Every structure is written in structure tokens, then in C-alpha cells.
């Protein structure tokens, strides 16, 4: 099975990014043919500083390598190193219905909320994403629930191309993990940089402690029993703990005499246990700029060989 997923270099990753995408991407390399790319073309819809984008792109590559992505098992590359993405985007744009694009939620949200400038790039974002996917003919595309529609757009455009010009593209399936489709932040809402409610993946000790101790809880007194299923601290703990550890913490909530401050300390300890090895690995990789660049270039070479083959098929079908 071949999987493909892209990640925008939009800033320091948080636990929502880790659980919803990054951890899953690393897990796939053990049993799938995996393609993971840094979507820096897509980032141009919001990042308007060249040096900043280069830095964010490199840092995201470091982050992935730090959490265990193996470049020998996963084809890991920069989107901008494969120009075939842009050529296929134009070809798909020529058959993409305006109505389909206008219905995409990212575009509608941008116009309604005004959070992003309503540019042509933002409007055609789903077409580029379709090209990203279809070039590599994956079976599945791991995405969050908010990106499901864009995978469906890729399927629609693949079907239209195949019907119009002849069979080239496989119809990929969105792969959504229901267990992590909405990772809560410190306020109980979806963890997001936009909401300023994140817990950093690679923050220092002080930043991690501050975030955990800021998690919103109710006012139940320490001595009273508590419902773990309604507690934000417990919900986050479940993502990282073993079944036995989860059961033990649940018992403490129900028994009473266990405060939310104690629960936060338990969560903080577990996060250090899980994240500290990644943090140490990142420190080591930050000293190896050339190595990280070599990883991305090697991944691009492997990805390009597949992208070029697909584009040759497309060019033949459309008459170019």
C-alpha cells in the first residue's frame, strides 16, 4: 500500500500536529510505501518572507527526523524540489469546474472570516493539493477531518481526467484516524495556533510546564470524586499513556482526594517521558544542516522519478 501526505511549514509543531499527523506519518513507514513532503508551495498563501519560509521548511524537516522518520524507509522531500507538481496543477486547472472550487471550505472560510487574503493561490489551493496527491498514485492519504474535502476534490479531478483523456490516475482514499481527529487544547477546544491554546511538541521545560499547568479544569474540590471523562487533563493523558496507566489514573479521579494539580503533574511527567528523547534528537540534528539537506535532496530524487513517469503519461494523454 502506498500512502502520501504533505505538511505545511507553518511554525513550531504542537501536540495536535504530532498526534493528528506527524506520529501517524512515522508509523506508516513500518508497513507501507510512504511519501511525506513539506508543502512549501502551499505555505506561500500565508508566508510572505523568503528567509522565514526557508527556515520553517528546514525546521520542519528536523522535527520529522527527530521524532523517528527514517529517510531510508520514507520518501521525504520538499514540494518545491519537484516542479512536476506545478505542471500537473495547471493541467488539472484546465478541467477543474469553478463551482467545485467555490464550494471548498477553505476558500469559503477565507472570504467569510477574512483571516487570509482571498488570493488566486488560496482559491486554487485544492487543485495544487490534487496534483500533489495524484502524481504519486497513492492508495491512501492520511489527513485530518478538515482536509477530507480536498482529497475528495482530488478524486473528482482524477475521475474527470480519466473520463476525458483516458485512464491515468488512481482514486485515493482519505485516511482519517477517528481517535485523533480533534485533539483538544488547554482550553478544551481544538488545539490550534489560531486559538493560542497549544502545548508545544519541542518546547523547553518552562514552556511545557506553563502550558500543562494552564489546562482549564472545573472547580471540583480536591477531596471530591471527579469524572475523568469530562477532564481536559485526563483526555490529553490518554493519548500518551498505556491502558494500565490510564486505568490507574481513572481510579484516582473516581476515588477522590486527588486534585487537578496532581493530574497535571502526572500528565507533565508522562509528556517528558515521551517527548524528551525527541527533544534531545532535535538538538543533535540542529547541528547537522548539511545532513538534513542531503536527506531532502535524496528524497526528491526518488520522488521525481515517479512524478516524471506520471507526468509523461499525462502529457501523452492530453497531447503535449
If one counts every other C-beta atom within 10 angstroms of the C-beta of residue 281, the result is: 16
Contacting residues for 194 by C-beta, under 8 A, at least 6 apart: 115
Residue 184 bridge partners (DSSP): 190
Interior/surface letters 145-157, b for 16+ CB within 10 angstroms, e for the rest: eebbbbbbbbbbb
The 3-state DSSP class for residue 34 equals strand
Q: How far apart, in whole angstroms, are the C-alpha atoms of residue 211 and residue 277?
A: 19
Q: How far apart, in whole angstroms, are the C-alpha atoms of residue 246 and residue 36?
A: 32
Residue 37 bridge partners (DSSP): 6, 77
Strand order in the sheet with 140-142: 74-78, 33-38, 2-7, 140-142, 173-175
The 3-state DSSP class for residue 174 equals strand
Q: How far apart, in whole angstroms, are the C-alpha atoms of residue 196 and residue 192?
A: 6
Estimate the crossing angle of helix 84-93 against helix 125-134, to 10 degrees: 120
- Active-site positions read 111, 190, 193
Residue carrying the nine cell digits 488547554? 186
Classify residue 269 as exposed, middle or buried by CB count within 10 Å of its CB (0-12, 13-18, 19+): exposed
Q: How far apart, in whole angstroms, are the C-alpha atoms of residue 90 and residue 92?
A: 5
The answer to whether the beta carbons of residues 67 and 18 sit under 8 Å apart is yes
The answer to whether the beta carbons of residues 128 and 80 sit under 8 Å apart is no
The 3-state DSSP class for residue 30 equals coil
Amino acid at each position: 500500500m502506498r500512502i502520501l501526505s504533505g505538511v505545511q511549514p507553518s511554525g513550531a509543531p504542537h501536540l495536535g500536529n504530532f498526534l493528528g499527523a506527524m506520529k501517524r506519518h512515522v508509523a506508516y513507514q513500518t508497513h507501507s510505501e510512504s511519501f511525506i513532503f513539506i508543502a512549501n508551495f502551499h505555505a506561500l498563501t500565508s508566508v510572505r518572507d523568503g528567509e522565514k519560509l526557508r527556515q520553517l521548511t528546514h525546521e520542519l524537516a528536523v522535527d520529522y527526523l527527530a521524532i523517528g522518520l527514517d529517510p531510508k524507509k520514507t520518501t521525504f522531500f520538499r514540494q518545491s524540489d519537484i516542479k512536476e507538481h506545478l505542471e500537473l496543477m495547471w493541467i488539472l486547472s484546465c478541467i477543474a469546474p469553478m463551482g467545485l472550487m467555490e464550494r471548498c471550505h477553505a476558500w469559503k472560510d477565507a472570504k467569510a472570516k477574512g483571516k487570509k487574503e482571498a488570493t488566486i493561490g488560496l482559491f486554487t489551493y485544492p487543485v495544487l493539493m490534487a496534483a500533489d496527491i495524484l502524481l504519486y498514485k497513492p492508495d491512501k492519504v492520511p489527513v485530518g477531518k478538515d482536509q477530507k474535502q480536498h482529497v475528495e476534490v482530488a478524486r473528482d479531478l482524477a475521475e474527470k481526467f480519466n473520463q476525458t483523456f483516458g485512464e491515468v490516475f488512481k482514486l485515493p482514499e482519505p485516511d482519517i484516524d477517528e481517535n485523533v481527529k480533534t485533539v483538544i487544547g488547554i482550553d478544551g477546544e481544538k488545539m490550534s495556533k489560531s486559538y493560542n491554546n497549544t502545548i508545544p511538541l519541542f518546547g523547553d521545560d518552562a514552556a511545557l510546564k506553563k502550558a500543562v499547568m494552564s489546562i482549564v479544569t472545573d472547580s471540583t474540590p480536591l477531596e471530591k470524586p471527579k469524572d475523568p471523562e469530562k477532564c481536559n487533563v485526563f483526555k490529553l493523558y490518554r493519548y500518551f499513556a498505556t491502558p494500565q496507566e490510564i486505568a490507574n489514573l481513572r481510579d484516582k479521579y473516581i476515588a477522590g482526594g486527588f486534585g487537578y494539580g496532581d493530574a497535571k503533574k502526572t500528565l507533565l511527567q508522562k509528556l517528558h517521558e515521551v517527548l524528551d528523547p525527541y527533544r534531545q534528537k532535535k538538538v543533535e540534528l540542529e547541528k547537522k544542516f548539511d545532513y538534513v539537506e542531503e536527506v531532502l535532496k535524496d528524497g526528491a530524487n526518488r520522488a521525481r522519478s515517479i512524478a516524471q513517469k506520471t507526468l509523461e503519461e499525462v502529457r501523452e494523454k492530453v497531447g503535449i
